[in-house]
Amino acid sequence: MSTTWNTRPETGGDVAAVREVNLSAFPTPMEADLVEAMMALVFDETLPVPSGLIVYPAPFGV
């Protein structure tokens, strides 16, 4: 069985649902805020991604 993902750009109508997912994924709203701030940096094509901000895959224990 294979899974197919259909992706599309996030729209303004997705904001509340994405926030709920982020709030549900972490123990406090501060982590959700951090994820959303990082997403804003990554998805703002007018800003360069700061060197070393995003490391993938992240080492264990970080």
**Mean pLDDT by 10-residue block, N- to C-terminus, for the chain (62 residues)?**
81 89 93 85 63 54 51
The number of folded domains in the chain is 1
Q: Can you give the residue range of the structural domain that contains 36?
A: 15-43
Per the domain annotation, does 50 fall within a domain? Answer: no
| Confidence at residue 2, expressed as pLDDT on a 0 to 100 scale | 78
Domain assignment present for 30 = yes
Give the per-residue pLDDT at 5. Answer: 81
Could you tell me if residue 61 is inside a domain?
A: no
Residue 34 belongs to some domain of the structure: yes
Q: Is the pTM of this model over 0.75?
A: no
Q: Tell me, what's the pLDDT at 26?
A: 93
What's 13's DSSP letter?
Answer: G
Residue 58 lies in a domain: no
Please check whether residue 32 lies inside any domain of the structure.
yes
The closest alpha carbon to 55, from 44, 42, 46, belongs to: 42
